[in-house]
Structure 1
């Protein structure tokens, strides 16, 4: 038995207090990790052919509980701010790629986001999309696919600070 604030408490009571403090600390760490694992933020995309940085995409809440992403900067050596999506076949046809929304309707589904679409402005194709974070929220694995997710391609994007 020990005395705290003029009271005598047992070993069990002390242990319970310490566990409660540890639980509160771990809860705070888990909450911080959950924020880090959100895809919301700015991501550097990588060119599949060269392995070099290609663009910066900003992913944000679209106001309806989903996520969307738009191109905020081109990083390629030949990138020009007036590049247009000439291969697009929807309403984005001939629109500037800079500022273009290329990800839409992503909804949280467990530990990932799913149900949305991603546009490849290089070829104008629109794919179904899934994404999840890795490495404590520092990497975003984005998978575009047609039909089922097994028939697709993944890219790993890097979070920018």
Structure 2
């Protein structure tokens, strides 16, 4: 009987260790997932202001200094021409392909979001100051382009692509 009790205790201890390890792994995975959703880094579906339909995919990345940038990686409009160029741009992006173009530059972490960078609207070639923050557990990105002060601008809500 004593041998049976020792074996049962060893089995219970082993089961407890496995459950504890599984709990630690699940907590770590949950932490990593939560941490990944509080940042704009990832791929986002933009929405056309006029039609309300998906317009493009923008991939946001972080450089070694912590600054974010975003580039157009795919057009989603059914009549989107992949050879379309930014004819209205007035900087170095003039007449460059919109597909593959960096439209968000130099965004830095600030209180409640990211700020200090700029965003290009390839439709009109204008460059605006930019602010952004994530919402809805990291599934939405509110991007605000503005001139001068943030009150003079407009916001778009982009959807995270999994």
Shorter-chain TM-score: what band?
0.7 to 0.9
Q: TM-score, normalised by structure 2?
A: 0.80
Aligned equivalents of 2:143, 2:108: Cα separation in 1: 14
Structure with the bigger percentage of helix: 2
SS of aligned partner of 1:123? coil
Q: 1:152 aligns to what?
A: 153
Q: Distance in 2 between matches of 1:86 and 1:32?
A: 40
**In structure 2, distance between residues paired with 1:111 and 1:150:** 17
Q: Structure 1: any 5+ residue segments left out of the alignment? A: 1-24
Aligned counterparts of 2:65 and 2:89: Cα–Cα separation in 1: 25
Q: Deviations over 1:17-39 (max 9, x none)?
A: xxxxxxxx989856642321110
Once residues 64 and 87 of structure 2 are traced to their aligned partners in structure 1, the CA distance between those partners, rounded to angstroms, is: 29
Match status 1:114 vs 2:115: yes
Give distance in 2, aligned partners of 1:116 and 1:89: 18
RMSD: 1.9
Matched with 2:129 is 128
Task: Establish whether residue 96 from structure 1 lines up as the match of residue 97 from structure 2.
Answer: yes
Q: 1:99 to 1:32 in 2, by over 3 A?
A: same
Residues paired across the two proteins, number: 139
Match of 2:80 in 1: 79
Offset of 1:57 from its aligned partner?
Answer: 0.1
